[in-house]
């Protein structure tokens, strides 16, 4: 395990709450990553904006890289390589108990335990169990209450089950969780199909008000999942380059910002990055037709030519694992094409991340994150799983 230091989940989120209380509404960007270049691009965008962040990996991302220790290594290596010294927390996204424990033992700073499909009392029990495991290690916990429409790994719901603001304080009190994803009408993926009236940001506002009345807001944080904006120009770019993505629609940025003003402190973004990577890769193949002959890129070209709606880079970079190639470039001629593509992807991600964290109000907040280690955080939690 690299000893490159990650920041606690808690202190990163607390910086956004403190800034918000001082009048500048802010939320931390939480960016999903699957592969090395993606992590490098996010870090570069954060540096340009002087922003702290949460970098997160789903169960699928952990599997893709071969386990939580590989994701930890991949991220800390990307930080070391670029001399990244701004606060970054590594978080498991939509985890279960088994993966949560594995990640808490692998250097992660936060765990999301998604038991949102369970009845409230069971959801509380599972989340509380995760807190009891994670907090003594200084690892923060995010629960989920209510259900986002759509499929997220093994949790799916046809319709949004909106969170009830009057249950939010109870959830925090009974679980001891640091953060809570509340369903207010967003959904995962590029086809959010959301009508603007389905986005009930008043759920965020009323939840935060109830937390304020209960004295919870200084150390408990609300999270917005499914927050990709799905820029239409990106979708059009992909379609003009041979893709076929229909009906893609994201959350209007204004609604996300309203949610932040009302109390969201963590904003989850995955799909926007996937779209940017896909557009860049398709454009690269158009501009460099001979790149399709490079061994490391052949598979990607075939998948993009046959699956016109593909946007998940794991589908087309599945076999090549960019990190392995970049660490030990094969002697094969043409590898420069692969490296060039990765540089373009990194830049595309950096530009979007910089833009988003500026919009979320967390640009410039890197210096206000309390400088604690996970060991310090464990003591802060009291070492017994309580807040
Ligand atoms: O909800 C989070 C991300 O979109 C995770 O996606 O499970 O396909 O990695 P994934
Ligand atoms: P998007 O699909 O909108 O990017 O949502 C990401 C997310 O919520 C990850 O947990
Ligand atoms: Zn999510």
- Ligand closest to Cα of 228 equals 2
Q: Which of 318, 232, 317 is nearest to 275 (CA)?
A: 232
What's this model's pTM, rounded to 2 decimal places? Answer: 0.95
Q: How large is the C-alpha radius of gyration of the chain?
A: 20
Select from 41, 33, 36, 145 the least CA-distant residue to 89: 33
- Taking the CA of residue 192 as reference, the ligand 2 atom at the shortest distance is 3
> Which ligand has the nearest atom to the CA of 226?
2
Residue 107 lies inside a defined structural domain of this protein: yes
206 is catalytic: no
Residue nearest atom 3 in ligand 1 by C-alpha distance: 270
Is residue 59 assigned to a domain?
A: yes
> What is the count of structural domains for the chain?
1
DSSP state of 136: G
Q: What is the rounded distance in angstroms from the CA atom of residue 373 to the CA atom of residue 234?
A: 39
Q: How far, in Å, from the CA of 332 to the mean position of ligand 1?
A: 33
Burial of 69 (0-12, 13-18, 19+ CB in 10 A): middle
Domain assignment of residue 126, yes or no: yes
Chain centroid offset of residue 296 CA: 27
Q: What is the best residue among 68, 188, 192, 272 to mutate for testing ligand 1's pocket, by most ligand atoms within 8 Å of CB?
A: 188
Q: How far apart are CA 317 and CA 98, in angstroms?
A: 27
Nearest Cα residue to atom 5 of ligand 2 = 226
**CA 228 to CA 268: how far, in whole Å?**
7
| Å from CA of 141 to ligand 2 middle | 18
Closest-lying ligand 2 atom to the alpha carbon of residue 250: 3
User: Which residue is closest in CA terms to ligand 2's atom 1?
Assistant: 226
- Distances, alpha carbon 320 to alpha carbons 28, 51, 127, 297, 299, in Å: 31, 31, 36, 8, 8
Ligand lying closest to the C-alpha of residue 116: 3
**Residue with CA closest to ligand 2 atom 9:** 268
Phi and psi at residue 247, to the nearest 5°: 70, 20
Catalytic annotation, pick one of 50, 69, 81, 93: 93
* DSSP, res 183: -
- Rounded to whole angstroms, the Cα distance separating 1 from 225 reads 30
Q: Distance between CA 66 and CA 31 in Å, rounded? A: 19
Instruction: Locate the DSSP E strands across the chain.
Output: 28-32, 53-58, 88-95, 110-113, 140-145, 150-152, 155-157, 179-182, 221-224, 264-269
**Ligand 3 centroid to residue 178 C-alpha, Å:** 16
Residue nearest to atom 8 of ligand 1 (CA): 60
Q: Which residues line ligand 1 (CB under 6 A)?
A: 32, 58, 60-61, 93-94, 152-153, 188, 270
112: β partners: 142
For residue 386, what pLDDT is reported?
Answer: 46
Tokens of 226: 């499914």
204 touches 222 (CB < 8 A): yes
Atom of ligand 2 at shortest distance to CA of 187? 3
CATH number at residue 236: 3.20.20.70
DSSP-derived secondary structure letter, 7? P
pLDDT tens per residue across all 387 residues of the chain:
556 789 999 999 999 999 999 989 999 999 999 999 999 999 999 999 999 999 999 999 999 989 999 999 999 999 999 999 999 999 999 999 999 999 999 999 999 999 999 999 999 999 999 999 999 999 999 999 998 876 665 656 677 889 999 999 999 999 999 999 999 999 999 998 767 888 999 999 999 999 999 999 999 999 999 999 999 999 999 999 999 999 999 999 999 999 999 999 999 999 999 999 999 999 999 999 998 888 888 889 999 999 999 999 999 987 556 666 666 666 666 788 888 999 999 999 999 999 999 999 999 999 999 999 999 999 999 854 444
- Choose which residue among 146, 192, 270 to substitute to test ligand 2 binding: the one with the highest number of ligand atoms within 8 A of its C-beta: 270
Within a domain: residue 197?
yes
Give the closest residue to 256 by CA, choosing from 15, 10, 28: 28
Tell me the C-alpha distance between 88 and 6, whole Å. 6
Strands (E), 17-123: 28-32, 53-58, 88-95, 110-113
* Per-residue pLDDT, 295: 81
CB 350 within 8 A of CB 342: no
Centre of ligand 1 from the C-alpha of residue 156, in Å: 12
Domain extent, residue 25, equals 2-271+357-370
DSSP class of residue 197 equals G
Q: Give the integer Cα–Cα distance in Å for 165 and 175.
A: 16
Q: Is residue 347 part of a domain?
A: no
The rounded distance, in Å, linking the Cα atoms of 311 and 296 is: 19
Best residue among 34, 55, 94 to mutate for probing ligand 1, ranked by most atoms within 8 Å of CB: 94
Q: Is residue 230 part of a domain?
A: yes
Q: Which residue has the tokens 């001629």?
A: 333
Does 291 map to a domain?
no
Q: What pLDDT does residue 120 have?
A: 96
pLDDT value at position 336? Answer: 86
**Residue 335 is assigned to a structural domain of this protein:** no
For residues 281 and 348, is the Cβ–Cβ distance under 8 A? no
Q: Which ligand approaches the C-alpha of residue 256 most closely?
A: 2
Is 95 strand, coil or helix?
strand
CA of 279 to the centre of ligand 2 (A): 18
């Amino acid at each position: 395990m690299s000893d490159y230091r990650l920041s606690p989940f808690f202190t990163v989120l607390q910086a956004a709450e403190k800034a918000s209380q001082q009048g500048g509404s802010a939320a931390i960007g939480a960016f999903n990553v699957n592969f090395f270049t993606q992590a490098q691009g996010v870090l570069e965008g954060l540096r340009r904006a002087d922003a702290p962040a949460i970098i997160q990996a789903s169960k699928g991302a952990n599997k893709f890289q071969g386990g939580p220790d590989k994701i930890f290594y991949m991220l800390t290596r990307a930080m070391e390589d670029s001399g990244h010294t701004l606060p970054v927390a590594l978080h498991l996204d939509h985890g279960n108990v088994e993966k949560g424990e594995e990640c808490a033992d692998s250097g992660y700073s936060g765990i999301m335990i998604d038991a949102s499909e369970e009845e409230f009392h069971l959801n509380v029990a599972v989340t509380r169990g995760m807190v009891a495991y994670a907090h003594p290690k200084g690892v923060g916990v995010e629960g989920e209450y209510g259900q986002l429409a759509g499929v997220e790994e093994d949790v799916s719901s046809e319709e949004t089950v909106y969170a009830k603001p009057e249950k939010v304080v109870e959830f925090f009190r009974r679980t001891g969780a640091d953060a809570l994803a509340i369903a207010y009408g967003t959904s995962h993926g590029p086809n959010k199909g959301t009508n603007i009236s389905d986005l009930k940001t008043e759920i965020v506002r009323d939840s935060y008000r109830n937390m304020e009345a209960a004295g919870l807001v200084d150390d408990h944080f609300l999270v917005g999942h499914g927050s990709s904006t799905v820029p239409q120009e990106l979708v059009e770019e992909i379609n003009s380059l041979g893709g076929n993505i229909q009906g893609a629609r994201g959350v209007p940025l204004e609604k996300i910002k309203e949610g932040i003003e009302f109390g969201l402190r963590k904003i989850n973004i995955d799909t926007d990055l996937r779209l940017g990577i896909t557009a860049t890769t398709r454009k690269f193949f158009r501009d460099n037709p001979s790149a399709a002959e490079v061994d490391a890129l052949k598979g990607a070209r075939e998948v993009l030519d046959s699956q016109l709606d593909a946007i998940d880079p794991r589908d087309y970079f599945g076999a090549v694992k960019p990190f392995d190639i970049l660490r030990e470039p094969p002697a094969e001629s043409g590898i420069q094409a692969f490296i060039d593509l990765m540089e373009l992807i990194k830049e595309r991600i950096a530009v979007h991340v910089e833009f988003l964290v500026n919009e979320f109000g967390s640009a410039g907040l890197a210096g206000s994150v309390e400088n604690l280690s996970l060991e310090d955080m464990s003591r802060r939690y009291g070492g017994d799983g309580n807040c």
